[in-house]
Amino acid sequence: MNNQRLIRRMVRRETHSSRAAVSVLAAAVLLALCLWLALEAVLMMAGVPALLASPGETARWLAGLPAATIPGWLAAAGAGIALLGVLLMAAGMAPGRRPRRALASDRCAVVVDDDVIAAAVSRTVQLSSGVAPGQVTTTVAGRSARVQVRPTSGLALDAGALTAAASSELARYGLATRITPAVRVASSGAVGQ
């Protein structure tokens, strides 16, 4: 396996989440149902009373269910089961994303958490604006970085210049998916900072 292919594989493994939890949950439910049915069948063959319902009673109940149930309720139950199936299919097929991103590197796989990128953007905007570190907060999600700056009272800040500083910081990382910063300067300032 060549180096670039190995790096891509490692990055994908670190940035995408596993479907093991959903698979284990679905398998556990199906296993419990199958074990219950097997236990009821064994109890019926042994002539022992059923725990919940014998297989014959269950089959008769299922056969009589359409006649004994209001059609609206039956349709709602069918829609619910179909929705559960669609959700399980979507959970199994859709790529799970972790809040991590790959940085550009030719030699190795570099994966950084979104919180680390947010802290770096906050630090850059804080240094560019000359405010205290607690006056800048950044949230990175999807393809955007929302930067909230609370200026010191009496200090006017240029949102365009701060956006340019955040953009240049994000451009340095060479992210595969471009993150667009949105800087918002609060109208009320912090007193004495």
Mean pLDDT over the full length of the chain: 85
Given a cut of 90, whether residue 61 has pLDDT beyond it is no
The tens digit of pLDDT for each residue in 122-166 reads 999 999 988 888 889 999 988 899 999 988 887 888 889 999 999
39 has pLDDT over 60: yes
Distance between CA atoms of residues 189 and 193, nearest Å: 9
Q: Which of 10-19, 86-95, 126-135, 179-188 has the lowest mean pLDDT?
A: 10-19
Listed in sequence order, the residues at least 6 apart from 59 whose beta carbon sits closer than 8 Å to its beta carbon are none
> Is the pLDDT at 46 greater than 80, yes or no?
yes
CA distance 103 to 109: 8
Distance CA 185, CA 159 (A): 6
Residue of 134, 141, 98, 133 whose CA lies nearest to 117: 141
Distance (Å, whole) CA 55 – CA 63 = 12
Query: Which residues neighbour 166 within 8 Å (Cβ) at sequence distance 6 or greater?
Result: 121, 124, 125, 138, 145, 147, 181, 183
166 class by beta-carbon count within 10 Å (0-12 exposed, 13-18 middle, 19+ buried): buried
- In three-state secondary structure terms, 146 is strand
Contact of 148 with 171, CB cutoff 8 Å: no
